[in-house]
Structure 1
Amino acid sequence: MAFFGSSNAAATSTTGDTSKDIEVKREECPTDSISDLSFNPAIDLLAVSSWDKNVYIYELSQQTGVGGKWKFEMPAHVLCVAWSKDGTRLAAGDTEGNLSMLDLRTNPNPGVVANVPTIPKAHPGGNGLQGTIKCCRWFQTNGQDFLATGSWDKTVKFWDFNSTNPIGTLDCAERVYSMDVKDNLMVVATAERHIHMVNLNEPQKIFKTMTSPLKWQTRTVSCFTDATGFAVGSIEGRCAIQYAEDKNTSLNFSFKCHRQQDQANRDVAKVYSVNCISFHPVHGTFSTAGSDGTFHFWDKDAKHRLKGYPEVGGSITATGFSREGNVFAYAISYDWSKGYSVNSPNQPIKLKLHPIVGDECKPRPGSKKR
């Protein structure tokens, strides 16, 4: 969309520009930390989940910019959202294990949607937050849509929404922290640094389990654009590139990111969590964003940073590229990395859209896109 910048604009510096980024109006933004976001794969809509128990859907328009369109409330804090492959349905999960699905085909009129169909305690868990649905992803098998939900109850469940019961359950080694799907590859990252890989032609079977190549707690995983592997980020300011097939293990590597040199002691580096990783749908390059309030674009095949962007005024908690790759959305809010006591009403809560212009996300000449 031309509204988000001309593709003719060229950027030659490795330092990116955020001065043209578009911010969602304060009155249309969540009132508590933003946990997840998801671009619709068919039309220009962006869904956002929040700790304020609401799901927000925004429309991106060349004429009017970005504005709120739909909103619905869940019983508890919402941690994840995901669009179906055709863009008609939006799933969301909360900290009490409830699973909701908004169908735009039956709710075509914008506004606050009441009584969104919900499966109560889809992950019943136990005491406290054990049934929390941390992540959800849609996938297709034999042309049929299914939803996978990953929970702190140490399971991934599969749903077709023909009933309120899951059609299958995958037992994981530990609590599910992050999950992603691309084509037939599903990657599930759990506590204690376990990573499961699943062939979605056999979704109730783990075909490979590994320990994260990063030595500290896993924060996020994201599948490559071509589904040959994934990237993983940790709380210790590192990112690893990992291929699924053993024949490509020589291509695996990790690198440091989201670190700042201590000005008082030049031998000390401040280390920040890598909160989110997103792959560009066209170029196969990827972004990292972290607790230091910066985001960066990378070319994994050239092992090269394409662009680094200045601090945005708070931790970045969720990111994503639009379906055409011309918009990069990022959420600024408290990420709980310093615990409950540090959270306060003064923490920024913002949703911003960065127009992708020029060569910002294009791989270096000679790089092989994967």
Structure 2
Amino acid sequence: MSTMVRFNVSRGPARNCWLRGKRFGDEVKDYELAGAPSDSVSALRFSGKSCPFLGLSAASWDETVRFWRIDRDECVAIPKAMTKLSSPPLDTSWNEDGTRIYVGDCEGKLLAWDLMTDKVTQVGSHEKGVRSCHLVAGSVTSYLMTTSWDKTVKFWDPRMSSLAASLPLPERSYAADVCHPLAAVACADNTVTVISLENGPVERCRYDLMRSGSISSQVRALAIHKMGQGEDGMAWAVSRTDGWVNFQHLLNRNRDFNLKCHVDLDLIHNVHNAYAVNDLSFQPGSTVLATVGSDGQYQFWDHSTRCRLKRSSLCDQPLTKCAFDAHGDIFAYAVGYDWSMGHEYFDPKVLPQIFLKSMVDPDLPSRQREWGLCEV
């Protein structure tokens, strides 16, 4: 059953926006959203360019999905609504006009939350949990792509709640992303299945992930990057539990490489401390990649030079999810326990948080000055 909760909150947290002009947060602390969920965030997604407003949705292990409306002019994020589901949601996706949020849950249900009527209806289903949910915006029509632990990827017509196509996967889906005309799905057998969406959907090719760090590491997230026109600039990044990120290119495999991100060297004990890279996201229109990890940090990288541009201060909990808005101006990230250290390190008194960070500063004429020198 779905229930609706309207938030009535003051704009107290917005005071940080004015310390350095029109921006979310300041140089000391990023902007914290009011009305965060009571359990860790499992999905974080901005609305698309075609949406008449800027929205942010967050799915949580407390079996809720929430959304905020973000005012760019006032630099505030206003909690708008929440719906309670029957099982934890794993991923969300906005429709084109921002009137619906699609949700895939642990039980295998694909749901549509109508924000105008507050109705939650079932669009489709898998035999096991829906690991990812993406809106595929084509030149003629739009449809939904879902991947699942049942080793399938399915394509749905949300208007008719009907299945349009289904493809087998070699193993359980752990992560996926869509960038028309391609989709990429990372599976439990350390392979990436690339699907052509333009004349299909049909499986185009399958790649083995490169070995990096621990052999037993598991995939956590996948993000597709596209620079320029055509397929020559198509690539994707896959994050893992051993602190590494694998970069693979669609056409030129000689450009593939591994990037050691959330791994620290303990010089005193001469050991490497590896932390899971829980999520990653490419900034639209740039070569900047954001990663968030179990070490409680977000990091920004220039993947074209394999150089770290910025590393945040430590949070008191791991970072579980992150996302850029469609214009690349705002970066969102979620803080919450990811169970990487076991149940003995879980503190119920430390609640999850969601933050926004401005990526454009009017006082800085170029991104190079904003980031400063590359770290080594």
Sort the TM-score into its range (normalised by shorter chain). 0.7 to 0.9
Distance in structure 2 (CA, Å) of the matches to 1:151 and 1:67: 32
* Cross-structure match for 1:294: 297
Residue 51 (structure 1) aligned to one of 44, 49, 61: 61
1:262 is matched with which residue: 259, 263, 266? 266
Contact 1:314 1:334 in 2 (8 A): yes
Q: Return the offset for 1:250.
A: 2.0
**Does the alignment pair 1:23 with 2:32?**
yes
- Please name the residue that 1:14 is paired with: none
Note if 1:233 corresponds to 2:239. Answer: yes
Paired position in structure 1 for 2:278? 275
Q: Structure 1 pair 263/177, CA: closer, same or farther in 2 (3 Å)?
A: same
1:34 to 41, 44, 68: 41
CA deviation vs aligned residue, 1:203-231 (integer Å, no higher than 9, x gap): 44211111111343211110004361101
C-alpha distance in 1, partners of 2:219/2:328? 26
Q: Deviations over 1:254-279 (max 9, x none)?
A: 121101233640x1011001111101
> Do structure 1's residue 161 and structure 2's residue 182 form an aligned pair?
no
255-264 or 206-215: bigger deviation? 255-264
Deviation, structure 1 residue 64: 6.7
| Change over 3 Å in CA distance of 1:18–1:185 after alignment to 2 | farther
Q: CA deviation at 1:324?
A: 2.0
- Structure 2 CA distance, aligned partners of 1:361 and 1:34? 32
> What's the offset of the Cα at 1:6?
6.7
Most deviating of 181-190 and 61-70: 61-70
Which residue number in structure 1 is paired with residue 249 of structure 2? Answer: 243
Q: Which amino acid aligns with 2:243?
A: G
Structure 2 Cα separation of the partners of residues 32 and 361 of structure 1: 37
Deviation at 1:82, TM superposition (A): 1.1
Task: Show the counterpart of 1:222.
Answer: 223
Contact 2:17 2:31 in 1 (8 A): no
How many residues align structurally?
A: 338
Q: Which residue of the partner structure matches residue 312 of structure 2?
A: 309
Deviation, 1:158, is 0.7
CA deviation profile, 1:115-139 (whole Å, cap 9, x unmatched) = 312246x11x2xxxxx111111111
CA distances 1:163-219 after superposition (whole Å, capped 9, x unpaired): 333111111011111000112110101112111011112444211111111343211
**Bigger RCO of structures 1 and 2 (CA < 8 A, at least 6 apart):** 1
Counterpart CA distance in 2 for 1:192 and 1:338 is 24
3-state SS of paired residue (2:65): strand
How far apart are residue 87 of structure 1 and its match?
A: 3.3
Task: Say if 1:290 and 1:315, in contact at 8 Å, map to a contact too.
Answer: yes
Equivalent residue of 1:192, what SS? coil
AA aligned to 2:66 is Y
Q: CA deviation at 1:140?
A: 2.1
User: 1:4–1:327: 8 Å Cα contact kept in structure 2?
Assistant: no
Sort the Cα spacing of 1:164 and 1:280 in 2 relative to 1 into closer, same or farther, 3 A.
same
Per the normalisation by structure 1, the TM-score is 0.84
What's the CA shift for 1:361?
A: 7.8
Structure 2, unpaired ranges of 5+: 1-15, 228-232
What is aligned with 1:143?
140
Deviation at 1:360, TM superposition (A): 5.2
Instruction: Please tell me whether the aligned partners of residues 138 and 180 of structure 2 are also in contact (alpha carbons under 8 angstroms).
Output: no
CA contact (8 A) 1:46 1:58 kept: yes
Q: Which runs of 5+ in 1 are unaligned?
A: 10-16, 108-112, 126-130, 366-370
**Residue 236 of structure 1 aligns to which amino acid in structure 2?**
D
For 2:186 and 2:370, locate their aligned partners in 1 and report how far apart those are by CA, in whole Å: 27
Structure 1 distance, partners of 2:101, 2:32, is 23
Q: Identity, % of aligned pairs?
A: 29
Deviation at 1:339, TM superposition (A): 4.6
* Contact in 2 for aligned 1:180/1:188 (Cα 8 Å): yes
- Structure 2 distance, partners of 1:297, 1:101, is 33
Q: By how many angstroms is 1:362 displaced?
A: 8.8
User: CA RMSD for the aligned pairs?
Assistant: 2.6
Alpha-carbon distance between aligned partners in 1 of 2:276 and 2:184, rounded to the nearest angstrom = 20
Structure 1 residue 337: Cα displacement:
2.5
Q: For residue 240 of structure 1, report the CA deviation from its aligned partner.
A: 1.7
| Kept after mapping to 1: 8 A contact 2:39/2:351 | no
1:251 Cα shift?
A: 1.5
| Change in CA separation of 1:355 and 1:147 when aligned onto 2, cut-off 3 Å | same
Does residue 152 (structure 1) correspond to residue 155 (structure 2)? The answer is no
Find the counterpart in structure 1 of residue 80 from structure 2.
Answer: 69
**Residue 81 of structure 1: aligned partner:** 92
Deviation at 1:141, TM superposition (A): 2.6
- Evaluate the alpha carbon distance shift between residue 213 and residue 86 of structure 1 in structure 2; reply closer, same or farther with a 3 A threshold: farther
Q: How far apart, CA to CA, are the structure 1 residues paired with 2:194 and 2:19? A: 38
**Partner residue of 2:103?**
92
